[in-house]
Amino acid sequence: MIEAVVFDAYGTLFDVNSVIDACEQLYPGKGTFISQTWRQKQLEYTWLRALMNRFVDFEAINRDSLRFSLNKLKLEFSEDTIEKLTAAYLNLTPYPEVVDALNAFQPRQLLILSNGTSKMLHIVVENAGLESYFTAILSVDALKTYKPNPQVYQLAVTKLGISKEKVLFLSSNGWDVAGSKSFGFTVGWINRTGNPIEELGVQPDYQVQDLLELAHLISR
Amino acid sequence: MIEAVVFDAYGTLFDVNSVIDACEQLYPGKGTFISQTWRQKQLEYTWLRALMNRFVDFEAINRDSLRFSLNKLKLEFSEDTIEKLTAAYLNLTPYPEVVDALNAFQPRQLLILSNGTSKMLHIVVENAGLESYFTAILSVDALKTYKPNPQVYQLAVTKLGISKEKVLFLSSNGWDVAGSKSFGFTVGWINRTGNPIEELGVQPDYQVQDLLELAHLISR
């Protein structure tokens, strides 16, 4: 029944906490806290910018949210610091099970649908050596809005030309799970950290701990 | 030049941390942490619901975000707990300078523009004995969306029938300051806690520590 699998990128395929090391080098002992504050603010800024109709791309969001976070934590920084730390988003580590899971999901079509810019996404996928797995990497760039705006999820349907329920959308982000399910996809929540479910009025079709577990589930 | 002053409610006129006491009674030692987690999630849910086109009113947002927060903090609760704690939002304490500031802003028209339901707002204003100060209390209810969607700020312009720049919009919430300035109001940021400015591409016209300071500023 599932004909294509669409993956969220940040937090789902790629570990956003890979930036902790880069933060730790510049601010010893504070890497984890910076990374978490930055990620939270990054998400907030995508939601707020989308609602305000004041889009800037994810590279700008990434710099702006880092600037706010360092100010909030009362840490000194230069523009060079901002460039160095945001560059870490181009070298995120895939989660350990990603390659096995991508192999297990084949021969279905595999796509990425992400808030990242087209450029950022292509670089991070290439740096991880995963480019051969994906038939398309879809970015919000052209739409000038962000998830969970339903227009973003529609991008994948338009690209694939198949009905929503035949698309399995996978995300580790609870709010992205709610947004994609509300849109109408078949949805799997990769609940890597044992989070409670978001109370947004929709439930995912699957809840698993990692991508490989889900690949096995739908192959049965 | 300023003909009307429009106030955000939660965090600006009314101290959302007033709910700490109610949380503390049920969960000793955890009141502050619950209150902060709850408030953050409450805001996220307004942004996400608005973007998903899946509106529920602020009473529902308030219950849902509290449920998530208590689950996240691994605290036991019943529906009775949810009712008791959300009821605390009807008895928020106004900040100490509010009455003096409202007097100083007169004889300009004073309004409230809030994410709260009309019912919640009227009760909290009445419980604080402030109802005589306001010519209108505007809620997002009718629009079925949330700040910082520009449609929300337009509510005040439609009600007042004056140009945006003659409206002074006041909020303690940095993201609300950005949204209202992006819309076109004259904006004052009541930066009660010394937060850094949100990096959302717009700057408020005024930045002060409390409402009375701003009332004196524009009266000069």
Q: What is the pLDDT along chain A (220 residues), one digit of tens a residue?
A: 899 999 999 999 999 888 999 999 999 999 999 999 999 999 999 999 999 999 999 999 999 999 999 999 999 999 999 999 999 999 999 999 999 999 999 999 999 999 999 999 999 999 999 999 999 999 999 899 999 999 999 999 999 999 999 999 999 999 999 999 999 999 999 999 999 999 999 999 999 999 999 999 998 6
Chain B residue closest in CA terms to A146: B51
CA-nearest residue to A153 within chain B is B52
Contact A67 B178 (CB under 8 A): no
Task: Identify the structural domains of chain B with CATH numbers, from first to last.
Answer: 4-15+92-219 (3.40.50.1000), 16-90 (1.10.150.240)
User: What pLDDT does A17 receive?
Assistant: 86
| Minimum Cα–Cα distance from B71: chain A residue | A196
Mean pLDDT over residues B172-182, rounded?
Answer: 98
Residue B145 has pLDDT above 90, yes or no: yes
Cβ contacts from A onto B, under 8 A:
89
* Interface residue ranges in chain A relative to chain B, Cβ cutoff 8 Å: 44-45, 47-54, 56, 64-65, 67-68, 71-72, 146-150, 175, 178-179, 182, 195-202
Whether the per-residue pLDDT at B98 is higher than 70: the answer is: yes
The pLDDT score that the predictor gives to residue B17 is 86
Total Cβ atoms within 10 A of residue A39:
18
Q: How far is B43 from chain A (nearest CA, A)?
A: 10
Q: What is the mean pLDDT of chain B?
A: 96
Q: How confident is the model at residue B219 (pLDDT cuts 50, 70, 90)?
A: confident
Residues of A in contact with B61 (CB under 8 A): none
Distance CA B169, CA A88 (A): 39
Helix axes B174-183, A31-52, angle to 10 degrees: 30
Contacts with A199 from chain B: Cβ below 8 Å = 45, 64-65, 67-68
State yes or no: pLDDT of B130 exceeds 80.
Answer: yes
pLDDT in tens, B9-47: 999 999 988 899 999 999 999 999 999 999 999 999 999
Asked if residue B171 has pLDDT above 70, the reply is: yes
- Tell me if ipTM is over 0.95: yes
pLDDT at B220: 65
The per-residue pLDDT for range A146-169, each reduced to its tens digit, is: 999 999 999 999 999 999 999 999
The C-alpha atoms of residue A82 and residue A63 are separated, in whole angstroms, by 6
Taking CB atoms and an 8 Å limit, are A51 and B50 in contact across chains?
yes
- For the stretch B181-214, pLDDT in tens is 999 999 999 999 999 999 999 999 999 999 999 9
Partners of B57 on chain A (C-beta within 8 Å) are none
Give me the active site residues of A, please.
8
Q: Which range (B41-45, B87-91, B173-177) has the least confidence?
A: B87-91
Q: Long-range CB contacts (< 8 A, 24+ apart) of A171-176?
A: A171/A7, A171/A8, A171/A11, A171/A12, A172/A8, A172/A11, A172/A12, A173/A8, A173/A11, A173/A12, A173/A43, A174/A198, A175/A43, A175/A147, A175/A148, A175/A200, A175/B44, A175/B48, A176/A8, A176/A147, A176/A148
